Amino acid sequence: MHLIKYTLTAEGTQPDYVVGDVLSGGQLATPNDNLSPQDWTLVGVGDVDENNLPGNVEIIPTKQAFSDYVNSIWDHTLDDQANIDNNLGLAGDRISSCVDSLWDKFNGFNPD
């Protein structure tokens, strides 16, 4: 299992390069420049062949890389609470909580 950034297919379904289902998918929806229904970049956990991924998919390999990604998109999410948190100086705590929560879900699918 990998933590991945992906988009839906042109038909609005889960991509076929994911074996099985995207688990905890559709997280951190961020607008991109694609046409609907591929106009959101999503994060989820999926079983993928990392050597045969299309260009619009990225594996997030570490918690630090995930934290960096969340920080980079935070102002672009359509989350009114994120805007309020930014204005109140609380964004750092909310980002950290988001990263920890989703990374823990990912680890739950990948027991040691």
According to DSSP, the β-strands at 58-60 and 40-48 are: unpaired
Tell me: the pLDDT tens digits for 10-65? Answer: 999 888 888 888 877 788 888 889 899 998 888 988 888 888 888 778 899 999 99
Kindly report the pTM of this predicted structure: 0.77
Tell me: the pLDDT tens digits for 78-111? Answer: 455 555 555 555 556 777 888 888 888 888 877 6
45 neighbors 24 (Cβ within 8 angstroms): yes
70 neighbors 41 (Cβ within 8 angstroms): no
Strand order through the sheet with 2-6: 18-31, 40-48, 2-6, 58-60
Domain carrying residue 39:
2-108
Q: How many domains does the chain have?
A: 1
